[in-house]
Structure 1
Amino acid sequence: MEAREGNAWFYIRNHQQQGPIGLFELKKMFEQGILTPETFVWSKNLNQWQMVKSLDLLPDIVFKPKECAQPEENFASTWQEIEKDTYPKGRPFVRYLARFFDLSLFSLVLITFVSIFSPKFILETSGSFIFMLCLVLYVLVEASILSIFGNTLGKTILNARLRTINGEPLHFLIALKRSIFVTAAGMGFGVPIINFICFYFSFFDLKKNGISTWDQQIGTVVLYGKVSPTRIIFVSLFPIALLIAGLSI
């Protein structure tokens, strides 16, 4: 791949996906030894996160000493060791957990509000329809939250950040477009069976490429950081607790 000066680059360091920075700054970080040839990088011209060593990205002098000592280093044996400390193939479970946490929280607020003014509607309406209604309404709510606060609560708890390819927070129209895309292609608008099919394909698409189809199309990127098991458990149990509470009513 030929590097372009105008590209914004993201990189993984200390369990955090960071950026964006320009190609000049990226090269300086390698020349100063801050990053290594095994560092994963990504820009909008790449289909997935890749090691710098596999790209025609940096001056030959950066890798010359290692190439002389070890011309053809095979990273296959160390791939699992590298992958467990970084997130080059995305984190679908983190993304799903964050989204379901946010959606569950919004559903709780919406149902509580509607119950105050029209309890009959909640009692006589099927759970599937209420879920689909919450899903559609959340499109507008999520876009508003992202444009105002820059991130949702679920993503913040799980140390994930949503940015444009230039590293800026999403403005409303981009956030709205992405929310519609996620709801349609990623969740099938909540329609039974169709939503599981969408989950399946979006999961393996993310695992394969490290970036979802909608992020590629819209020009957005999700950056991940290390997250504690306590936060994962909390975010996981919250929707389950709401579901159990709803079934018991």
Structure 2
Amino acid sequence: MEIWLIRNGEKSGPYPDYEIRSRIEHEELESDAKVWHDGLTEWTEIGKLDLFRDEFGKKSEAPQPPPLPKAVVERGASAVVEAKPKRYLARRFWARWLDLTTYAAVWWLAMYLAGRDIGAAIQNPWMLLPMYLPWFALESWAIHRFGRTFGKWLMGLRVENDDGSMLSLKAAVWRSVRVMVTGIGFGWGLLSLLCQGMSWFTTKRIGKPIWDYLGKHKVTAEPASPFKIGAMVMLFIGAAQLQMAVRGPHEEKIMIEAFPQYKEFFQRGNGWYFPVKNSPKPAIFES
């Protein structure tokens, strides 16, 4: 039998009678809902029809189980909490910047040993734009081959697909490109800070950094090792000091030229720097 309904002031249907029963069972229709079928002379309340009258009493008559035990409810709640993926944001941040700082130290040292003009390089943003490209190429291979970089190894982190498999080389390259562009903004000062801030908010919102969300990757973690953390701190300090040894005198010269009122402040510094090559002697070394 086909049934017509009045829904939101409009005629709706026809519906088979079993669908009407299903709607009554799921409380989608009340007993005063107006219906019509072949044989009726006018719209009639569904609860007054012999065909459906008994359906409205079934739900209340059906036996209901008692409430769940408190222990079961608590276990279910704890399982939901445990199922929430961990993001390891602090460990990932320091692993990332240990890798980048160590690479940058090697890059600046190579520039120095090659006799390049360090001062000119510091002031030329277009020269610094491709600076991290070799690193991210190396990172792609390392993630594909080992699932981690040196920094991630020290932090006990591993990158893999959501199903636990290793990333293909193509997937690892795309991940590294997204990190370089949206994660650190090519390492350009304020742009880098802006990108990291946006990445943090995005991760809080969707549960993963955008590069892992788009690639369907995840980062797993082992218990942190105090020895590895100590090694990471020492390496980070050493890499930062190595960069300063190369860049320091040139950055001081740039600052003195921009802010001559602080010349005496810089001249009192006791920084440890490499001898300056192929560039005018910085003001700090003048007598």
Give the structure 1 partner of residue 241 of structure 2: 244
Q: Is the 8 A contact 1:163 1:170 kept in 2?
A: yes
Unaligned ranges ≥5, structure 1: 1-63
Q: Post-superposition shift, 1:150?
A: 3.1
Counterpart contact for 1:89–1:207, Cα < 8 Å = no
2:177 paired with 1:180: yes
Query: Displacement, 1:111?
Result: 3.3
Question: Which residue of structure 2 lines up, in the alignment, with residue 126 of structure 1?
Answer: 122
| Pairing 1:138–2:139 present | no
Equivalent residue of 1:193, what SS? helix
What is the number of equivalent residue pairs in this alignment?
180
3-state DSSP class of the match of 2:194?
A: helix
1:199 aligns with 2:196: yes
On the 8 A contact 2:143/2:149 being kept in 1, the answer is: yes
Given that residues 91 and 207 in structure 1 are in contact (C-alpha distance below 8 angstroms), is that contact kept between their aligned partners in structure 2? no
Q: Are the counterparts in 1 of residues 105 and 240 from structure 2 also a CA contact under 8 Å? A: no
Give the SS at the match of 1:120.
Answer: coil
Residue identity matched to 1:69? K
- Residue number among 144, 148, 166 corresponding to 2:145 in the alignment: 148
Bigger relative CO (Cα 8 Å, ≥ 6 apart): 1
Instruction: Return closer, same or farther for 1:223/1:172 CA change in 2, 3 Å cut-off.
Output: same
Question: Which structure has the larger Rg over C-alpha atoms?
Answer: 2
Output the TM-score relative to the length of structure 1: 0.60
Q: Unpaired segments of 5 or more residues in structure 2? A: 1-64, 245-271, 274-287
The answer to whether the aligner puts 1:105 opposite 2:106 as a matched pair is no
Partners of 1:98 and 1:119 lie apart in 2 by 31
- How far apart, CA to CA, are the structure 2 residues paired with 1:132 and 1:100? 17
Residues 71/164 of structure 1: CA separation in 2 closer, same or farther (3 Å cut): closer
**Residue by residue, what CA displacement relative to the aligned partner does 1:147-202 show, whole Å, maximum 9, x if unpaired?**
23332111111111001122222222111100010111111112221211111121
TM-score (norm 2): 0.53
The Cα RMSD (Å) is 3.5
Paired amino acid for 1:157: L
Per the alignment, residue 158 of structure 1 pairs with 155
> Which deviates the most, 174-183 or 149-158?
149-158
**In the aligned structure 1, how far is the partner of 2:154 from the partner of 2:160?**
16
In the other structure, the counterpart of 2:69 is 68
